[in-house]
Amino acid sequence: MDSLVNIAVFGIVGAAMMAALVGLLLVVSSRGSGRATPLLFGTVSVVLLIGVPSLAALDLLSGDPAAGVGRAFLAAFCVVAVIYAANVSLLPLVARRAAAARGGPLSAELRLSPAILVGGLLICALLGLVGAGLATVVS
């Protein structure tokens, strides 16, 4: 597959899976379950944030023998960035739901700033590097 198709397919799938995971977390957390639930959802999120970009990079490396680690990194980074964008877009919903559950006002600390967005992109780069590394090792 072409790199852009890889990014679109795996990015949309990862974003949809992450949105479903956030939705499940909101439903389960409103029921007041124990401490294991956030730990389980955190673990699944990390697996998703590493697994989906790794699969995108692996598909790129297996489909094009001339593709190197750099192209695999760019594909994995873009997939993580799409998933990150989905998470950022869901942040106001989660913040409102958490504030309603607490019975307090919406926290001012959750406003997006350029520093938060740049930090998120650095984390995306790190996860893209991990994904490309895993794909390179596996291929």
**pLDDT computed for residue 103 by the predictor:** 74
Q: Tokens for 98?
A: 């958490």
pTM (2 d.p.)? 0.84
**Among candidates 77, 84, 65, which has minimal Cα distance to 133?**
77
pLDDT in tens, 106-120: 666 667 788 888 999
The whole-chain average pLDDT of the chain stands at 84
Cβ atoms of 67 and 61 within 8 Å: the answer is yes
Give the C-alpha separation, 46 to 48, whole Å.
5
Output the CA torsion sign for 126, 131, 135, 138.
positive
Separation in Å, CA 121 to CA 101, 111, 115, 125: 30, 17, 10, 6
Q: What's 107-119 look like in SS3?
A: CHHHCCCHHHHHH
pLDDT in tens, 73-112: 999 999 999 999 988 888 777 777 767 776 777 666 667 7
Where on the phi/psi map is residue 54: left (φ > 0), alpha (ψ -120 to 50), or beta?
Answer: alpha
Cα 115 to the center of its chain, rounded Å: 18
Domain of 101? 3-138
Residue 103: burial class (beta carbons within 10 Å; 0-12, 13-18, 19+):
exposed
Number of domains in the chain: 1
**Percent of the chain at pLDDT above 70?**
89
Separation in Å, CA 94 to CA 21, 30, 119: 12, 12, 20
